[in-house]
């Protein structure tokens, strides 16, 4: 054991402990140049990382023109289905890949034909509606779940009088919103459902509060944060955005990086 240690110390002293001399500095420089050259050579032989286009998950093919119908609302929130459909249209249009028909004009055509969003899911009605709207696909669905959970966190303490310091107590008001939507894409030419996805998202915001209590015993309930809905609009907007993005990403191409080996022609060049 001691012999091996002495040998190691001798090696480091011999090769790295005396690089003050010009000869040793030149030797180190040559070593580094050799290693760098090998790295460049190997990278040229192995290839390069290239960005590859990945087609969307949804089999939408050459679909361009989209009509978004009203979504059925199975929740207690009266506006959540309309908000989801409106935001879905905005995000799909802003992607630059689709032409999204005006939602008000689409609703007017449905009313003129006497078709409800539920009836639009039948193949015959979908084809009829697709011709009237001159669109490639219809997007509709159902908001199946919406819940707002607002609660006060159990207070917790940092520090103690036994440690010779006044403890600090903390609590928070948490606003958590859950949303589930079933979305369907219907081919307007055949009436066939070509893509269906259940989207479930949740979004939460926590407002930390320092309690005016500096004793080891838990603070009274009167000092805890009061329940309020001030954070609901922001959390609601966030969960809607998450749900829409989760669905729209299936309609858009993406990119991934792959390692491409050089071809024989590349090697000749």
CATH classification of the domain holding 194:
3.40.50.10610
Contact of 189 with 149, CB cutoff 8 Å: no
Residue 11 has pLDDT above 50, yes or no: no
**21 falls within a domain:** no
**Full-model pTM:** 0.75
**45 falls within a domain:** no
Render pLDDT for 214-242 as a digit per residue (tens, 0 to 9).
999 999 999 999 999 999 999 999 999 99
**268 falls within a domain:** no
**44 falls within a domain:** no
Question: What domain count does the chain have?
Answer: 1
Question: What domain range is 202 assigned to?
Answer: 53-257
> Residue 55: pLDDT band by 50, 70, 90 thresholds?
confident
DSSP letter for each residue of 185-212:
EEETTT--EEEEEEEEEEEEEEEEEEES
Render pLDDT for 61-105 as a digit per residue (tens, 0 to 9).
888 999 999 999 999 999 999 999 999 999 999 999 999 999 999
Q: What is d(CA 120, CA 193) in angstroms, rounded to the nearest whole number?
A: 11
**196 falls within a domain:** yes
Q: Which of 133, 228, 240, 137 is nearest to 180 (CA)?
A: 240
**173 falls within a domain:** yes
**48 falls within a domain:** no
**8 falls within a domain:** no
């Amino acid at each position: 054991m001691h012999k091996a240690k002495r040998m190691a110390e001798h090696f480091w002293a011999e090769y790295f402990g005396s690089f003050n001399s010009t000869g040793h500095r030149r030797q180190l420089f040559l070593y580094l140049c050799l290693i760098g050259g090998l790295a460049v050579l190997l990278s040229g032989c192995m290839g390069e990382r290239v960005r590859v286009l990945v087609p969307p998950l949804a089999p939408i093919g050459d679909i361009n023109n989209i009509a978004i119908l009203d979504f059925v609302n199975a929740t207690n929130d009266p506006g959540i289905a309309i908000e989801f459909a409106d935001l879905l249209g905005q995000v799909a249009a802003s992607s630059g890949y689709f032409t999204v028909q005006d939602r008000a004009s689409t609703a007017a055509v449905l009313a003129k034909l006497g078709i409800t969003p539920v009836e639009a899911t039948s193949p015959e009605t979908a084809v009829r509606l697709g011709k009237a709207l001159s669109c490639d696909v219809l997007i509709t669905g159902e908001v199946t779940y919406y819940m707002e959970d607002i609660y006060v966190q159990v207070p917790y303490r940092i520090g103690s009088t036994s440690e010779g310091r006044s403890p600090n107590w903390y609590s928070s008001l948490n606003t958590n919103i859950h949303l589930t939507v079933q979305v369907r894409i219907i081919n307007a030419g055949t009436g066939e459902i070509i893509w269906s996805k259940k989207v479930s998202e949740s979004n939460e915001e926590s407002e930390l509060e320092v309690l005016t209590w500096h004793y080891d015993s838990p603070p009274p309930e009167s000092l805890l944060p009061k329940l309020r809905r001030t954070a609901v609009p922001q959390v609601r907007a966030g969960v809607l955005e998450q749900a829409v993005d989760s669905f729209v990403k299936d309609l858009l191409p993406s990119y991934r990086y792959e390692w491409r080996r050089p071809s024989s022609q590349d090697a000749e060049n």
